[in-house]
Structure 1
Amino acid sequence: MSMLAKLSALFRGTAHEAGQQVVDANALKILDQEIRDADNAQGKARDDLAGLVARRRMAENELKSFGEQIAKYENSVRAALAQGKEALAREVAVRIAELEQQIGEREPMIGGMKEAETRLRTAIAQTDQKIETLRREIDIVKVNDSVQKAQTSVALQSAGAHSRIGSAADSLARIKQRQAVNEEKLRASQELEDKRTGADLDAKLKEAGILPGHSSADDVLARLSAPKEVQVVTPLIQQSETVDRDKA
């Protein structure tokens, strides 16, 4: 194969691949347009069927008229023969023969039109069914396409959300670490302040029971409900005399 032929084959292959990609990317739009084209064709077929039915009915009405004329002319022939007017009877008979010939020619035509109507009705009904089936399949494909697009979007957002959650967790860990450091700083500052004021030593003495703690409500009630002790007060004069005797 020459270089030119290879380049030509490459160009055709590339063009075919590119065209196929365009078709695949717009498959749903193409299907929708094809459905619209089929609907338009069905509309044209229905118009043609309606026209055929109208012509067949006109032909049948014409045949009916021919039959009515024949019946009328037959009576006229009988009347002319009864009056001895054979020439007139023959003239009318010629007209009857012409009408019968036209009926004989048009009856097969009407039969053919009826057969064509039946075929057209069948074809239209079958095509309608195919179009409706294809339309349902297209709807299913559209739903599946929308679902897949939604799933793809959710998957991408979920990946981004996982990344954001990981970043937020790292930030939370840093905040907790910073709070723990601040808490240790506050604790250390309080310990230094307690040592400076002696509060830490008082706490140790209270814990050992050496220093009294704050009275509770129960302690106050117990103290106030206990009986008072009678204290004997020695008069000041007696105290003075006692002191003088002791000195002597």
Structure 2
Amino acid sequence: MSMLSKLSALFRGSAHEAGQAVVDKNALRILDQEIRDADNAQSKARDDLAGLVARRRSAENELQSLGDQIAKYESSARAALGRGNSDLAREVAQRIAELESEITTRAPQVEDMKTAETRLRQTIGATDQKIQTLKREIDIVKVNDSVQRAQSAVALQSQGAHSRIGSAADSLQRIKQRQAVQEERLRVGQEFEDRRTGADLDAKLRDAGILPGASNADDVLARLTQQEVKVVTPQITQQGEKSPVERD
């Protein structure tokens, strides 16, 4: 093979690969257009079927009309024969023969149209089923394609998300450390203030029950007990002496 032939084969191969890549990239668009083309062809086929049905019905009506004319002329021929007018009867018979010949010619055409109509209906029905099947399969392919694109996008973003999550965790830890340091500063500052004002010593005295005004549960119970004794004592009298109530 000469160099020019090899280069030509290389160019053709490259063009084929490039064209195939474009087709693969736009496969769904191509499928959608092909389905639209098939739908348009089906619409044209239905129009042709409708025209065929109309022509077949018109031909059947014409055959019916010819049959009606034959019946009419047969009645007329018998009437002419009944009156002895054989010439008129022959003329009518000739017309009947012409009509019957025309029926003989047209009847097979009507049958052919019926056969074509049946075949066309079957073809249209089968093609409709194929198109519907293709549409369902294309819908599934589109859904899968969308899911795969979403998964790819998530996978790409998650690679950067890991680094962003790590950075966010570091920032959160630094914030917590700053807050802990600030809380410790506030606590130490409050301790210094309590020492300056004596509030810390007052708290210790209150806890020990020494600071005036401080009380606990035992103190409250003791006070209530003393109050109860004071209420009961004035009602007790000397032994044998009646109380003022009893004397009255």
Q: 1:217 aligns with which of 199, 215, 220?
A: 215
- Per-residue CA distance 1:14-64 (angstroms, 9 max, x = gap): 111111111111111111111111111001101111111111111111111
Is the aligned partner of 1:141 residue 2:141? yes
Amino acid at match of 1:217: S
Alpha-carbon shift at residue 81 of structure 1 (Å): 1.4
Give 3-state SS (helix, strand or coil) of 1:43's partner: helix
CA positional deviation for 1:110: 0.7
> What letter is aligned with 1:131?
I
Quote the Cα distance in structure 2 between the aligned partners of 1:219 and 1:141. Answer: 80
Q: How many Å separate the matches in 2 of 1:126 and 1:59?
A: 28
CA offset at residue 218 of structure 1?
Answer: 3.8
Q: Distance in 2 between matches of 1:220 and 1:76?
A: 141
1:192-231 Cα deviation digits (max 9, x unpaired): x79xx8x9xx99xx9xxxxx98675249959x97x9xxxx
Q: Unpaired segments of 5 or more residues in structure 2?
A: 227-248
How far is 1:150 from its partner?
1.6
The higher radius of gyration belongs to 1
* TM-score (ref. length: structure 2): 0.74
Looking at structure 1, the residues matched to 127 and 146 of structure 2 have their Cα atoms a distance apart, in angstroms, of 28
Once the two structures are superposed, the pairs formed by residues 47-58 of structure 1 within 5 Å of their partners are 47-58=47-58
Tell me which moved more, 125-134 or 15-24.
15-24
| 47-56 vs 168-177, greater mean Cα deviation | 168-177
2:131 aligns with 131
Deviation at 1:149, TM superposition (A): 1.5
Distance 1:23 1:97 in 2: 66
User: Given residue 45 of structure 1, which amino acid in structure 2 is its aligned partner?
Assistant: A
CA 1:72/1:186 → structure 2, altered by over 3 Å: closer, same or farther?
closer
SS state at 1:41 partner: helix
* 1:87-146 CA-partner distances (Å, limit 9, x unpaired): 111111111000000111111111111000000000000000000000111111111111
Task: Report what 1:170 is aligned to.
Answer: 170
More displaced 10-residue stretch of structure 1: 60-69 or 5-14: 5-14
Q: Percent of counterpart pairs with the same letter?
A: 71
Gaps of 5+ in 1: 207-211, 228-248
Q: TM-score, normalised by structure 1?
A: 0.74
**Closer, same or farther in 2 for the Cα pair 1:113/1:180, shift >3 Å?**
same
How do 1:66-85 residues align onto structure 2 when only pairs under 5 Å count? Answer: 66-85=66-85
Tell me: CA distance 1:174–1:86, structure 2 relative to 1, closer, same or farther (3 Å).
same
Q: Alignment partner of 1:93: what SS?
A: helix
The corresponding residue for 2:118 is 118
Structure 2 residue matching 1:121: 3-state secondary structure = helix
| Count of matched residue pairs | 215
Q: Which residue of 2 aligns with 1:151?
A: 151
Residues 1:213 and 1:20: Cα distance change in structure 2 (over 3 Å): farther
After TM superposition, the structure 1 stretch with the greater mean CA deviation from structure 2, 46-55 or 84-93, is 84-93
Distance 1:187 1:82 in 2: 140
2:110 is aligned with what amino acid?
I
- Equivalent-residue separation in structure 2 for 1:110 and 1:90 (angstroms): 30
Equivalent residue for 1:88? 88
- Matched residues in 2 for 1:219 and 1:85: separation? 149
Assess, with a 3 A threshold, how the Cα gap between structure 1 residues 221 and 181 changes in structure 2: closer, same or farther.
closer
Please report the RMSD computed on the Cα atoms of aligned residues, expressed in angstroms. 3.1
Aligned to 1:44: 44
